[in-house]
Structure 1
Amino acid sequence: MAPIPALEHVSNPLVTSAQLLTLKSLENDDGISTWFAHFQLTSAAGILLRLSQEVTAHAIILLQRFLVSSSTNDRRSFSLKNFSAAAIYLGAKVSATPVSPRSVINVYTYLTSKASPLRFVNPAGPSTNVEPKSYFVSEGTYERERQRLFVCESMILVGLSFDTRVALPYTLALTYMQALGVFTTNMSLRVLEHLNAGLVSPQLLHLTHQPNALAVGAIYLAARETGVKLVERNWWEVFDVDREDLGFLVLSYGSMANFAQAEMEKWKNGLLPLD
């Protein structure tokens, strides 16, 4: 018989009510739009660095934990771009696919340049005549950015009490679908899409709900969207998820498309501060 995994491998520390109230009071300062954009920046960096989705998700959650637990002064000591870079560097470092500081700095310089495909950087799209030298990193710039990267990495580690463990819902979701007998390609793709969207949700779903609940919520919504019939009884209770949490997660996942569209409309009116 396979050993039962330790609790810390299937669960995460969740934010407290006090932290959520503090976060709500600070939204006018930092802006949920800015946070949303930088979570996307972290995701784009993971893609260009050829990191797996699990490593990128790990980095985004580390960044979210730091932003929620840190003070306003700590967050403002460097730009969110710097903390995003440090999170992706740290997430990769504790994985089987570490990346070099130079690679991280080169990618972030490109993603925040006029050649960037990110809409919150270039609302009208990347320029077609951008010279590569505009996102070339000189040795002097590299040394300065490398020092910022290491300082921000240290701040994240201290802010998280050096606890970088993150339990992700991806494997649980696929296992649950197999247990329910609904594992199909279309269904699994929709589930993974919802879990990935949850990483950039303004509700910070990965900080407020355990991986089993995130997985069940994604399965429930994906089944409705793809027309897959699930068992009639309260099957989610088998996976230790109550109806209230399930309803909240389904609404949160389902609202992400409208939220993202609204954010894109805001980006058309001006650039977000990245430095």
Structure 2
Amino acid sequence: MESGLKHLSNALATPNQLSNSSSSIDGVPPELETSIRCAGAQLTQAAGVLLGLSQDIIAQAIVLFTRFWLGADGGSLRIYAAKDVSASALYLAAKLSFQPTSPRSVINVYTFLLSPDASPLWFVNPRGAPDEPPAPETYILTEGGYQSARSTLLRIESVILRALGFDTHVALPHAIALTYLQTLGATKPSVSRRVIQHLNTALLSPQLLYVTHQPNALAVAAIYLAAREQGVKLVDTEWWEVFDVDREELGFLVVGMQSTEGFMRAEKGRWENKTIPLVVDTVEAEIEKGRMLGEGE
């Protein structure tokens, strides 16, 4: 029973880990760190989709990516490129699953998504995806470039494993939520779809909901929101308590999930016509720019 419960739960971030990341200790402004972390999660999602990976694997990779930056012992954005950590986290999550993918496939997809000319991602290519197919040389690596990228992919995979203490277990709320819906008798497909949408959006939450709350609580909050949005009445009692979630935690998670879409819109506005730095050199340049603006230069 105990091992079964452990399988459905995660090791959560401590308040100290959340307030003292290695990046913040190294002088990366909190807003910049949040933007880069969110862009890295979106990059992981897009790469996973292009690789044909299941959403479970992609979500696990995003959680591993997020955990890597936590605490003083985690990775610093002034040492490790977010793009490399994203690629290695996705490669690692796929390798641990029933759907492994090759280093070459991962590298090819990331080269395309990080191309300033070919990428469809707004934070990499602010001009938007090109109307005409881009020239192959803008997103295809030479053999030498591939070998270098492969070496980096495998090296950062080892760095992630060491930073996480080789604990790669990630319990997700998606299947739990669907089980809860059945228990509550809420079988309307539109509710199930909205629940999954809320859970996937929460992967991008600036409050890092997936590393601060257990899957059962995330599942309950997504169900509460979806049922309210779809006008579906659930049981009259405080049903969330049956699933070991109190009103205070539910309220926090509902607000957090609701705010994520607004946060994403604000991020797009903040970085309009600019790229979000995903490598160490551009992070340094952004920090320096912020310092100069702060000094009024």
TM bucket by the smaller chain? Answer: over 0.9
Shift of the 55–118 alpha-carbon distance from structure 1 to 2, 3 Å rule, reads: same
The one of 80, 103, 118 equivalent to 2:121 is 118
- Give the conservation status (yes or no) of the 8 Å contact 1:203–1:252: yes
The one of 12, 33, 48 equivalent to 2:10 is 12
Tell me whether 188-197 or 14-23 shows the greater mean CA deviation. 14-23
Offset at residue 102 of structure 1 (A): 0.4
Q: What SS does the corresponding residue of 2:29 show, helix, strand or coil? A: helix
**Whole-Å separation in 1 of the counterparts to 2:22 and 2:237:** 37
The one of 102, 105, 125 equivalent to 1:103 is 105
- Give the conservation status (yes or no) of the 8 Å contact 2:123–2:276: yes
Offset at residue 163 of structure 1 (A): 0.9
1:208 aligns with 2:212: yes
Name the structure 1 match of 2:195: 191
| TM-score for the superposition, normalised by structure 1 | 0.95
| 1:119-134 alignment, distance < 5 Å | 119-129=122-132, 130-134=134-138
In structure 2, what residue type is equivalent to 1:125? G
| 1:93-172 alignment, distance < 5 Å | 93-113=95-115, 114-129=117-132, 130-172=134-176
**Whole-Å separation in 1 of the counterparts to 2:267 and 2:243:** 34
Name the structure 2 match of 1:175: 179
In structure 1, what residue type is equivalent to 2:15? S
- Give the conservation status (yes or no) of the 8 Å contact 1:112–1:274: no
Name the structure 1 match of 2:29: 28
Q: What SS does the corresponding residue of 2:70 show, helix, strand or coil? A: helix
**Whole-Å separation in 1 of the counterparts to 2:260 and 2:254:** 10
Any idea what the Cα deviations from partners look like across 1:30-50, whole Å, max 9, x if unmatched? 521111111000000100010
Offset at residue 127 of structure 1 (A): 2.4
Any idea what the Cα deviations from partners look like across 1:17-36, whole Å, max 9, x if unmatched? 11112149826165211111
Kindly tell me the number of residue pairs found equivalent between the two proteins: 273
**Whole-Å separation in 2 of the counterparts to 1:74 and 1:4:** 35
Shift of the 87–58 alpha-carbon distance from structure 1 to 2, 3 Å rule, reads: same
Tell me whether 29-38 or 3-12 shows the greater mean CA deviation. 3-12
Offset at residue 104 of structure 1 (A): 0.5
**Whole-Å separation in 1 of the counterparts to 2:248 and 2:126:** 38
Offset at residue 76 of structure 1 (A): 2.9
Offset at residue 70 of structure 1 (A): 5.7
Shift of the 4–178 alpha-carbon distance from structure 1 to 2, 3 Å rule, reads: farther
Q: What SS does the corresponding residue of 2:69 show, helix, strand or coil? A: helix
Offset at residue 266 of structure 1 (A): 1.9
Offset at residue 156 of structure 1 (A): 0.4
Unaligned runs of 5+ in 2: 280-297
Task: Give the superposed CA RMSD.
Answer: 1.8
Name the structure 1 match of 2:64: 62
Any idea what the Cα deviations from partners look like across 1:98-151, whole Å, max 9, x if unmatched? 000000000000001111111111122122342122101111000110111011
- Give the conservation status (yes or no) of the 8 Å contact 2:112–2:118: yes
**Whole-Å separation in 2 of the counterparts to 1:24 and 1:142:** 30
**Whole-Å separation in 1 of the counterparts to 2:224 and 2:153:** 40
| TM-score for the superposition, normalised by structure 2 | 0.88
**Whole-Å separation in 2 of the counterparts to 1:183 and 1:124:** 42
**Whole-Å separation in 1 of the counterparts to 2:277 and 2:19:** 25
1:49 aligns with 2:47: no
- Give the conservation status (yes or no) of the 8 Å contact 1:119–1:267: no
- Give the conservation status (yes or no) of the 8 Å contact 2:21–2:74: no
Unaligned runs of 5+ in 1: none
- Give the conservation status (yes or no) of the 8 Å contact 2:221–2:253: yes
**Whole-Å separation in 1 of the counterparts to 2:228 and 2:75:** 44
The one of 237, 240, 251 equivalent to 2:255 is 251
Tell me whether 158-167 or 21-30 shows the greater mean CA deviation. 21-30
In structure 1, what residue type is equivalent to 2:17? Q
